[in-house]
């Protein structure tokens, strides 16, 4: 879990600062990218050189240093981390954090950060038990600050009790658990399988001509990418498009509706299927083996038959119907009315409906205005980019799979 994580380590001024050096080694062994701020008091216990040697990075010490600020302003320093770790967190640092005091680089970075902060307190037992420190601790807990330790035992000052810095390996484990939990929270679809169809289909008339439509595939690709970003193992079955394969998605490229259906069936089982493809309604009953010639006579009659309906087929699978089947309805009039009818006709659970009349610019464009139609009712979503619509839909899908409602 720690591999490639970015941690900003703030080293406070306590005798336990020397243990921060061991912590740096243990975190680096696990692939953590570390930057460190050494407070002035911390610098009384360990040297910037030892911190720099172990982190392999410049050590930041001074809020008003031209070189520090020119290289990496305190705001950037506080933001370019996945976790801010304060080790040791002295009574003074805790008090500053609790009261929003920013009087040096460390406390300014702690006030400026928008990232989770974990403290490992270390101090004399009386300082730890002092009502002021305990009050500050409650404030910090209320602010969502995470904590590991302190432990209990012999203290460097000769007294015995609470206030010992947590064992270095316990701090490593706490950081590991934090990233583990963050990953689960950020990836609510981990362990789920998602199937998405996108793009148009091409139905051959003869070896050089085909029936097609104007679908760009953008919305479907964005949905596949958003589902994958939430942790779903995602298969995108795509008709011909000019788009690159989305990140972290298995993309299966097909041409015709029948190929799309076969690829979808091969991709089952899935927890959710989102049919965004603009599947051609008809194909040639018999496509010509050779290019049809003009021959100067009457134009050829195109004898069409209906294509399989992929959305309806997936919705009616007996054994392996996905728990949630979502269709799209691109309409040019009576958008909601048609969407409701489609919900019944196709047997799917949700219809994402949008108005694609030419004036909207939605077809092929980057934005979309949609309505989520289910048997529970209609949600009107505000106009948004196709990427935002995709992210919102993916989150909605994750919520539904956790607690099916509508």
User: Which residues are identified as catalytic?
Assistant: 157
Please report how close the Cβ of residue 403 comes to ligand C5P at its closest, in angstroms. 24
Alpha carbon distances (Å) from 279 to 212, 246, 330, 376 = 9, 20, 12, 27
Does position 310 bind ligand C5P by CB under 6 A?
yes
CB-CB contact of 117 with 84 (8 Å): yes
Binds ligand C5P (CB under 6 A): choice among 329, 335, 394, 398: 329
On the 0-12 / 13-18 / 19+ scale of CB atoms within 10 A, 260 is buried
Nearest to ligand C5P of 30, 345 (CB atom): 345
Query: Peptide bond before 269: cis, by omega within 30 degrees of 0?
Result: yes
Confirm or reject binding of residue 189 to ligand C5P (CB under 6 A): no
Select from 54-62, 151-159, 283-291, 325-333 the region that touches ligand C5P (CB under 6 A).
325-333
Question: Please, which residue, 306 or 366, has the CB nearer to ligand C5P?
Answer: 306
Residue 206 DSSP SS3: coil
The residue among 86 and 279 lying less far from ligand C5P, judged by its C-beta, is 279
Question: Which member of 257, 263, 372, 387 binds ligand C5P (CB under 6 A)?
Answer: 257
Which range binds ligand C5P by CB under 6 A, 123-131, 134-142, 239-247, 270-278? 270-278
Residues with Cβ within 8 Å of residue 158, at least 6 apart in sequence: none
**Binding residue for ligand C5P (CB under 6 A) from 128, 210, 221, 328?**
328
The yes or no reply on residue 267 touching ligand C5P (CB under 6 A) is: no
Q: Which residue in the set 327, 335, 353, 397 belongs to the binding site for ligand C5P (CB under 6 A)?
A: 327
Among 104, 162, 225, 309, binds ligand C5P (CB under 6 A): 309
Given 136, 197, 238, 374, the residue binding ligand C5P (CB under 6 A)? 197
Rounded Cα distance, 84 and 21, in Å: 16
Alpha carbon 363 to its chain's center = 26
The mark string for 337-366 relative to ligand C5P (x by CB under 6 A, - otherwise) is -----x------------------------
Q: What is the DSSP string of 135-179?
A: HHHHHHHHTT-EE---EEEE-TTS-EEEEEPPPHHHHHHHHHHHH
Is residue 211 near ligand C5P by the rule CB under 6 A?
Answer: no
311 touches ligand C5P by CB under 6 A: yes
Full 3-state SS string of 80-125: CCCEEEEEEECHHHHHHHHHCCCCCHHHHHHHHCCCCEEEEECCCH
Q: Is 60 in the site for ligand C5P (CB under 6 A)?
A: no
Question: Can you tell me which of 23, 275, 343, 370 binds ligand C5P, judged by CB under 6 A?
Answer: 275
In the block, tokens 């967190």 appear at: 89
Size of the site for ligand C5P (CB under 6 A): 14
Tokens of 124: 């004399």
With contacts defined by CB under 6 A, name the span among 161-169, 182-190, 303-311, 375-383 that binds ligand C5P: 303-311
Residue with tokens 């004399």: 124
C-alpha to C-alpha distance for 372 and 384, rounded to whole angstroms? 14
By CB under 6 A, tell whether 307 contacts ligand C5P.
yes
Structure tokens that stand for 373 in this block: 């139609």
Which residue in the set 11, 194, 279, 353 belongs to the binding site for ligand C5P (CB under 6 A)?
Answer: 279
Q: Would you state the structure tokens that stand for residue 319, as one six-digit string?
A: 């054994």
- Which of 166, 277, 339, 343 touches ligand C5P (CB under 6 A)? 277
Residues 174 and 41: their CA atoms lie apart, in Å, by: 25
Q: Which of 154-162, 206-214, 276-284, 317-325 is the region at the interface with ligand C5P (rule: CB under 6 A)?
A: 276-284
Question: What's the rounded Cα separation, in Å, for the pair 311 and 261?
Answer: 9
Beta strands 304-306; 384-385: pairing state: unpaired
Shortest distance (Å) from residue 401 CB to ligand C5P:
19
The contact set with ligand C5P (CB under 6 A) reads 197, 257, 275-277, 279, 307, 309-311, 327-329, 342
């Amino acid at each position: 879990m720690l591999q490639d994580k970015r941690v900003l380590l703030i080293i406070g001024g306590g005798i336990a600062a020397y243990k921060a050096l061991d912590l740096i080694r243990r975190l680096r062994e696990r692939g953590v990218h570390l930057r460190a701020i050494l407070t002035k008091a911390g610098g009384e216990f360990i040297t910037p050189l030892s911190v720099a040697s172990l982190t392999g990075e410049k050590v930041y010490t001074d809020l008003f240093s031209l070189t520090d600020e020119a290289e990496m302003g305190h705001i950037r320093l506080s933001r370019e981390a996945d976790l801010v770790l304060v080790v040791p967190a002295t009574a003074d640092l805790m008090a500053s954090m609790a009261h929003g005091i920013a009087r040096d680089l460390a406390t300014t970075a702690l006030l400026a950060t928008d990232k989770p902060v974990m403290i490992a307190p270390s101090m004399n037992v009386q300082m730890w038990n002092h009502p002021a420190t305990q009050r500050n601790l409650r404030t910090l807990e209320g602010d969502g600050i995470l904590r590991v330790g302190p432990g209990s035992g012999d203290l460097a000052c000769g007294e015995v009790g609470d206030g010992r810095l947590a064992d270095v390996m316990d701090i490593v484990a706490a950081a590991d658990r934090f990233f583990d939990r963050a990953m689960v929270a950020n990836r609510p679809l981990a362990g789920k399988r998602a199937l998405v169809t996108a793009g148009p289909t091409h139905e051959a008339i003869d070896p050089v001509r085909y029936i097609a439509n104007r679908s760009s595939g953008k919305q479907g690709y964005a949905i596949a990418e958003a589902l994958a970003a939430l942790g779903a193992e995602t298969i995108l079955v795509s008709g011909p498009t000019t788009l690159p394969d989305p990140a972290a998605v298995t993309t299966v490229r097909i041409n015709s509706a029948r190929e799309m259906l076969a690829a979808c069936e091969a991709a089952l089982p899935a927890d959710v299927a989102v049919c965004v493809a603009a599947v051609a309604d008809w194909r040639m009953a018999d496509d010509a083996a050779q290019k049809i010639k003009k021959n100067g006579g009457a134009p050829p009659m195109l004898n069409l038959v209906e294509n399989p309906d992929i959305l309806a087929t997936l919705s009616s699978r007996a054994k392996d119907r996905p728990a949630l089947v979502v269709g799209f309805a691109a309409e040019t009039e009576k958008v909601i009315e048609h969407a409701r009818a489609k919900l019944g006709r196709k047997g799917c659970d949700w219809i994402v409906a949008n108005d694609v009349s030419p004036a909207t610019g939605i077809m092929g464009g980057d934005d979309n205005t949609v309505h989520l139609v289910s048997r529970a009712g209609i949600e009107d979503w505000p106009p948004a980019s196709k990427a935002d619509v995709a992210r919102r839909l993916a989150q909605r899908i994750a919520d539904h799979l956790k607690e099916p409602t509508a």
